[in-house]
Amino acid sequence: MRLGTKYEERRLDLTILPMVNVVFLLLIFFMLVGRIGPTEQLDLSPPVSQSGQRDSGQPLRIEVDSTGIMALNGRVTDNTELIVMLTDRLRQEPATQIQLKADANLDANRLIKLMETLRLIGIGKLTLVTEQEV
């Protein structure tokens, strides 16, 4: 008689099902929890703010780390190249909005100098990106 064979095959199938369920649940969990937004080129920790405001549209984002290294929309640039790229963009779209995300440990004088340079080349709207206080 072959009664034991069918029972063992069925039992093997039943022991794999919970493992498959767990794997799919873990996959769904990590897909939902994973970061959906674009990654940043520079490792920054912006200053903390008590008030928050969401900005609409797709502004250009300038990132400056604590050593002064800058990136425009995720591409590392130097000061001269940044000014040239922003000037060209302003000629095409005069109402360009700029987001400035600077590290909290960046020297304030360096940040002010960058903001003055942006104002001189014609940036009309500049938003300083901060993290909201929890």
Domain boundaries, given as residue ranges, for the chain: 1-34, 48-132
Cβ-proximal residues to 53 (8 Å cutoff; 6+ apart), any chain: none
Strands 125-128 and 97-102 come out as parallel
| pLDDT at res. 23 | 92
As its CATH architecture, domain 48-132 has: 2-Layer Sandwich (3.30)
Q: Tokens for 119, please give them.
A: 């104002």
Range 84-91 average pLDDT:
89
Handedness of CA 113, 118, 129, 32 (dihedral sign): negative
The DSSP code for 46 is P
What was the pLDDT predicted at 11? Answer: 63
Closest CA to 78 of 67, 89, 88: 67
| 23-37, 48-62, 70-84, 107-121: the lowest-pLDDT one | 48-62
pLDDT tier, 74 (very low <50, low <70, confident <90, very high otherwise): confident
Residue 133 has pLDDT above 60, yes or no: yes
- pLDDT over 60 (residue 70): yes
Which residues, other chains included, contact 90 with Cβ-Cβ below 8 Å and sequence gap of 6+?
Answer: 96, 121, 122, 123
**Token digits of residue 98:** 């700029």
Q: How far apart are CA 77 and CA 88, in angstroms?
A: 15
pLDDT of residue 54: 56
* pLDDT given for residue 130 in this prediction: 81
CB-CB contact of 94 with 101 (8 Å):
no
Confidence of residue 113 (pLDDT cuts 50, 70, 90): very high
